[in-house]
Amino acid sequence: MNNPDNNNLRIIDTNTGRTIGEYIWKKSAKEGLKTLLWSPDERVCLRLAPAEAPNQPNYVEIYRNNNFGEFPTRIYARFPRKGKNKKEAPTYVNSKFDGFELCPLNPAVSPDESPEYLFAW
């Protein structure tokens, strides 16, 4: 927290002690754990990332199979706002995700064949 411009949120492989992911987290350390979420089988890791600039949306990053070295899939908090009439195209508004959760997988279906659903609010 003394220098939030450094990577102060780290993911460490407990089998090897190796750091496999590093991120900047500018809020209190107590909130750092709320920004990461693993699926029960640990195949998917979600990270609630801060906005990259003022007045920009924040986003959720999706990492698969603990591969933190590849660029993740990102879902930005941008939402459509309808135009005043039907002919007007919607505009997109930058917003903010406050939290996220994974929908439980269907226990009757193999995890490899079951879809994954992300809820973000």
- Tokens (6 digits) for 72: 């993740």
Structural domain includes residue 94: yes
Residue 73's pLDDT is what? 92
- Which residues in 48-77 are b (16+ Cβ under 10 Å) and which e? bbeeeeeeebbbbbebeeeebeeebeebbb
> Minimal CA–CA distance to 59: which of 49, 68, 67, 70?
49
Q: Output the pLDDT for position 90.
A: 83
pLDDT averaged over every residue in the chain: 82
Q: Are 75 and 60 in contact (CB under 8 A)?
A: yes
More confident residue, 49 or 112: 49
- The dihedral formed by the CA atoms of 43, 69, 22 and 78, expressed in degrees to the nearest 10: -70
Instruction: Provide the domain limits for residue 51.
Output: 26-120
Percent of the chain with pLDDT over 90: 14
Using one digit for the tens of pLDDT, what is the confidence trace for 73-109? Answer: 999 999 888 878 888 888 889 999 988 888 877 778 7
**Count of domains observed in the chain:** 1
